[in-house]
Amino acid sequence: MKSPRMLRLSLATTLSVALMATLMPLAPASATPSIAAPSEISTQALSVDSAVHIAARKIQRDPSRTDVFVNKSYPLSPKKYAPKTVAVPGTNVRLKSSASSAYTTMVKAAAKDGVKIRAVSGYRSYARQAELYNYYTRIYGQSYASKISAVPGTSEHQTGLAIDVGNNNSACGLQACFADTPVGRWVAKNAHKYGFILRYPKGQESITGYSYEPWHFRYLGTSLAKSYKNSGAKTLEAYYGVAGSKSTTPPSKSAKGTAKTSANLNMRSGAGTGNRILLTIPNGKTVKLTGSKNSGWYQVQYSSKTGWVSGKYLKNISMPSNTSKDTPKKDDSKTIKAKSAKTTENLNMRSGNGTNHRIILTIPKGKKVSVTGSKKSGWYPVKYAGKNGWASGKYLR
């Protein structure tokens, strides 16, 4: 029995490892060579309208089956399903016994090629997934958390059929660069022979709903894995002819200088609830943004009136492009004086000014960071989510 304190500590350790690892820039995406023309075509047809053009294969929902299909739109049922699992020999990772045997066979085959695969994470219970998901949500907010972590009841890890693998020296552990490590290359090429498929491929994020995860493999059994591979489908979603995840569909493009109300919203004479109400804008209306913003409030025009509304109840906010009044010009020294910057990609914060330093955490794209000092060989000292570290100036604006 672990005391609560021990539990907390071990969780924190696991989390920090997962955390520094889970998020990596999707971009700059080197163009992935297309495998074969036919698969290109079928995938494109799918993305247009999978339901109509593809004779859908039967989707297995029984979580006890090896071919169970699980994603954001197809949660486990029952959602707290717990399989019988075994410890993968020589590890403390647990899987269903079928997946564990297949994994062990794969590890032996890789070893013959001089590649040592390490099991990083296997079965996760509903409760454990809930801890992880809540943790990410606290740090990154729900929208980003859902791209890197499954909502409890929707994780393939809960089936006991998914495993995250790594190198023995943890190189690029749970990071996109894992793909270019010995284990990453080996499993990409060979895992299907043992019944495992790479579940969240690069370039398919909008279909799978997850960031590229070259380490996450799903056991399907050898015959289904073979059928999947031969189909040329790039995702299990495409293979089954089901639509991609709705939750990552980018918000519909809004015109510059507009936003939409997400509630009946008071327009006030100034930025703050202490100001007089001019009118109430109904929920779902489009308002015009003047470009002025003040502590979370936006100046808007609606129904020929101009006033201020709380940004909390605005969505699809698209500031007008002429909002340059107090935006720093593209001059490095000024950016520093502004004492804050925005990330232009998912960006690693490191312990020093260079990629040879340890990753502390990854700051999601589009987040504001505080710049705490001056630039050193292209890197800035920054603060984000209560942590201090260094970030490359290339991805700061």
147 is a contact residue toward Zn ion (CB under 5 A): no
Sole window of 42-50, 210-218, 234-242, 376-384 interacting with Zn ion (rule: CB under 5 A)? 210-218
3-state secondary structure string across 152-204: CCCCHHHHCCEEEEEECCCCCCCCHHHHHCHHHHHHHHHHHHHCEEEEECCCC
Minimum CB separation of residue 61 from Zn ion in Å reads: 21
Minimum CB separation of residue 3 from Zn ion in Å reads: 28
Name the residue whose CB lies closest to Zn ion.
216
b/e 159-176 (16+ beta carbons within 10 angstroms → b): bbbbbbbbbeeeebbbbb
Sole window of 50-58, 100-108, 126-134, 161-169 interacting with Zn ion (rule: CB under 5 A)? 161-169
216 is a contact residue toward Zn ion (CB under 5 A): yes
Minimum CB separation of residue 361 from Zn ion in Å reads: 19
Minimum CB separation of residue 156 from Zn ion in Å reads: 7
Token pair belonging to 2: 């672990």
- Cβ nearer to Zn ion, comparing 216 with 268: 216
Sole window of 18-26, 40-48, 134-142, 214-222 interacting with Zn ion (rule: CB under 5 A)? 214-222
In single-letter form, the type of residue at position 125 comes to S
# residues near Zn ion by CB under 5 A: 2
Minimum CB separation of residue 162 from Zn ion in Å reads: 6
- Cβ nearer to Zn ion, comparing 148 with 259: 148
* Catalytic residue (one of 156, 205, 213, 345): 213
Angle between helix 97-112 and helix 182-190 axes, rounded to 10 deg: 120
Contact assessment for residue 204 and residue 147, using Cβ atoms and an 8 Å cutoff:
no
Contact assessment for residue 113 and residue 106, using Cβ atoms and an 8 Å cutoff:
no
For residue 130, how many other CB atoms are within 10 A of its CB?
16
164 is a contact residue toward Zn ion (CB under 5 A): yes
255-284: which residues touch Zn ion (CB under 5 A)?
none
- Cβ nearer to Zn ion, comparing 213 with 345: 213
Sole window of 66-74, 141-149, 208-216, 355-363 interacting with Zn ion (rule: CB under 5 A)? 208-216
Active site residue 40: no
Binding flags for Zn ion, 107-146, as an x/- string (CB under 5 A): ----------------------------------------
Residues assigned a catalytic role:
213
| Site residues for Zn ion per CB under 5 A | 164, 216
